């Protein structure tokens, strides 16, 4: 699957969870992926969202409150808000 195909798959509501995981893997490992691509992965919940959140933490340097699972944010709305506030005005 190419990066462009992965972008289409992650936005396809009819795709299988397996396809979303595969697409998220391609998206999160690509330097081409932008914030909107990673946010699209967050909408899929579960493993695709966790993969995207991990990439976002690495790219943004967003601090975690602790090393517990509870401090790991994989929520679309939370990350969208964080990224919007982090963008230069």
Tell which residue, 80, 4, 1, 76, has the closest CA to residue 42. Answer: 76
| Angle at which helices 46-60 and 17-28 cross, to 10° | 10
Which pLDDT does position 63 carry in this prediction? Answer: 86
Cα dihedral: 39, 44, 50, 55 (round 10) = -30
pLDDT digits (tens, 9 = 90+) for 26-78: 999 999 999 999 999 999 999 999 999 999 999 999 888 777 666 789 999 99
What is the chain's Cα-based Rg? 13
Q: Could you tell me how far CA 15 lies from the centroid of its own chain?
A: 17
Which pLDDT does position 30 carry in this prediction? Answer: 96
- Please give the structure tokens belonging to residue 84: 């919007």
- Please give the structure tokens belonging to residue 8: 């289409």
Which pLDDT does position 69 carry in this prediction? Answer: 67
Which pLDDT does position 68 carry in this prediction? Answer: 67
pTM of the predicted structure, to 2 decimals: 0.88
Q: How confident is the model at residue 88 (pLDDT cuts 50, 70, 90)?
A: low
């Amino acid at each position: 699957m190419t990066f462009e195909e992965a972008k289409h798959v992650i936005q396809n509501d009819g795709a299988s969870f397996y396809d979303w995981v595969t697409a998220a893997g391609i998206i999160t490992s690509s330097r081409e992926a932008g914030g909107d691509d990673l946010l699209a992965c967050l909408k899929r919940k579960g493993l695709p969202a966790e993969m995207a959140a991990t990439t976002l933490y690495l790219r943004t340097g967003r601090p975690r409150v602790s090393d517990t699972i509870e401090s790991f944010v994989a929520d679309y709305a939370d990350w969208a808000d964080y990224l919007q506030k982090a963008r230069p005005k």
